[in-house]
Amino acid sequence: MSEQKLFSFRNPWFGASVGVSGAIAVLAALAGLIWLPMVQPDLKISGIWDAICSAAGVPRTVPRSGGAQQPDFKTSNVVMTSQMLTHPDQVSIGRGATLAQRCAICHGPQGVSDANSPNLAGQYAAVTYKELNDFKAGARVNAVMSPFAANMGNRDMLDLAAYYSFLPRVPSSHLNDNAPAPQIVITGAPMRNIAPCGACHGDIDIKAGSPWLGGQSAVYIKAQLKAFASGGRRNDISQQMRNIARQMTAEEIDAVALYYEAQP
């Protein structure tokens, strides 16, 4: 082949390709980083340097008039993540077992209730912890639970959550493995913004902070769904459960409650 040198300005291919690529890049940069942002009225650009920074993607906060509208009710202040309390340690479980004696009247000595209070045995630790926290903070209110939670320290709540998650789940006396799942459980109702229950509650996948529902008392599930729907309960972060419950019909709420009660 030719002895021509490749990387040399005497090679027309080199000059042309580098020149053209460079020119396109420079022109595109000038247009994209300076010209276009300068003519965007919404951006309120103060100068060339500002335009470049903004278009290059340097994070900035746009000053806004007026503060955020503050809530007139208490909201949950728990920071939920998917990793939260997934590996409770033995010491914590042991401490939780001692503390749990106080809870046994309603929630049962083995975390299984006969009194339509929620079963806690085998519940995800993050869920129990979050609810205790919300009772304590006043984001969730219950005549019996709120005073209990008010006196708990953070450590107590963590230990209780760890202990209950350690206990094995016990199927309810209404267990019926063959109960057909209602349509609302399997597929939800997409256009009403109802995802399948199991997408969050553990049957299919878990969304952090969503409780396991199997074997839970139907009375309890129904009461909570109604409370979410009416806005009586508002400790679900950013309305994640209210958005769903408010779209459910009374029949669907009944069907879901009965179905989950019969699940292991």
Residues 225-254 that bind another protein (CB under 8 A): 237-240, 243-244, 246-247
Output 103 or 263, the one with its CB closest to another protein.
Answer: 263
* Smallest distance from another protein to CB 117, Å: 22
Residues 113-152 that bind another protein (CB under 8 A): none
Output 103 or 224, the one with its CB closest to another protein.
Answer: 224
Taking a C-beta distance cutoff of 8 angstroms, is the pair 128, 96 a contact?
no
Of residues 23, 48, 204, 250, which one binds another protein by CB under 8 A? 204
Count of residues engaged in binding another protein, rule: CB under 8 A: 85
* Smallest distance from another protein to CB 69, Å: 4
Side-chain-facing half-sphere of 7: CA atoms under 13 Å: 0
Residues 63-102 that bind another protein (CB under 8 A): 64-66, 68-72, 75-77, 79-83
* Smallest distance from another protein to CB 107, Å: 21
Q: Which two tokens stand for residue 246?
A: 């408010």
x-or-dash string of contact with another protein, 152-191, rule CB under 8 A = -------------------------------x--xxxxxx
Supply the Cα-derived Rg of the chain in whole angstroms.
29
> 108-117 — which CB contacts under 8 Å span 24+ positions?
110/167, 110/170, 111/164, 111/167, 111/170, 112/170, 112/172, 112/215, 113/217, 116/217, 116/219, 116/220, 117/217, 117/220
Residues 18-37 that bind another protein (CB under 8 A): 18, 21, 24-25, 27-29, 31-33, 35-37
Q: Which two tokens stand for residue 243?
A: 């958005």
Output 94 or 182, the one with its CB closest to another protein.
Answer: 182
3-27 burial, b if ≥16 CB within 10 A, otherwise e? eeeeeeeeeeeeeeeeeeeeeeeee
